[in-house]
Amino acid sequence: MKNRTAYFGVFTALALILSYVETLIPVNLGIPGAKLGLANLVVVIVLYKMNFKEALLLSVTRVILTGFIFGNLFGILYSLAGAVLSLVVMNALKPGTSLSVIGVSIAGGVSHNIGQLIAAMIAVETYQVGYYLPALLFAGLITGALIGIVCRDVLKRIKKLSFV
């Protein structure tokens, strides 16, 4: 229990590093806002190994920190909306056990993009942004699946570790 704060710090650092690594990979899918979402790897793992509260805190901390370091204010707003919606959806689907980590991660990836889009709609005050919805759904599906596959393998290997 007393190691909780230390673990949380390590996970935050890991998420930050992954966000940084992501900025080094020039993946341009031609869709604004579409990213691999490497940092979500840590968020999903924390969601499974710790709990919703920790994962939410980590996600919000991560978004704000990376936003100030690599992005801008708009980026923070969009990401925050995406991150929170994604976590809520993932947390809702997780205990049902009808979905594996991959399914939960896919749902998370897709809802992350939907959350961002909603934030963008509110910020730009136009529904034309909805034009990107199909592309973003597809992007969320692919990135969510990739992150989910990695998560499944990582979780398999750290089964015996407890961070709580």
Partner 1 sequence: MKKNDWLLAAGILAAAAILLCFQMLGKTGKAAFVSVTVDGVLYGTYSLCEDQVIKIDDTNRLEIHDGFARMEWADCPDQVCVNHRSISRDGESIICLPNQVVVSIENGESSEVDDIAR
Of 72, 157, 160, 161, which lies in the binding site for partner 1, with binding defined by CB under 8 A?
72
118 to 147, contacts with partner 1 by CB under 8 A?
120, 126, 128, 131, 133-135, 137-138, 140-141, 145
Q: Is residue 102 involved in binding partner 1 (CB under 8 A)?
A: yes
Total residues contacting partner 1 by CB under 8 A comes to: 27
- Residue 105 burial class via C-beta count within 10 angstroms: exposed 0-12, middle 13-18, buried 19 and up: buried
Closest to partner 1 by CB, 57 or 150: 150
Q: What are phi and psi of 37, to 5 degrees?
A: 75, 45
**CA dihedral over 143, 101, 39, 67, signed as positive or negative:** positive
End-to-end Cα spacing for the chain: 6
SS (HEC) of 69-103: HHCCHHHHHHHHHHHHHHHHHHHHHHHHCCCCHHH
Q: Which stretch binds partner 1 (CB under 8 A): 44-52, 83-91, 101-109, 155-163?
A: 101-109
d(Cα 83, Cα 112) in Å, to the nearest integer? 6
Q: How far is the CB of 153 from partner 1 (least distance, A)?
A: 12
Site for partner 1 in 30-69 (CB under 8 A): 32-33
Task: Write out the residues near partner 1 by the rule CB under 8 A.
Answer: 32-33, 71-72, 74-75, 78, 98-100, 102-103, 106-107, 110, 120, 126, 128, 131, 133-135, 137-138, 140-141, 145
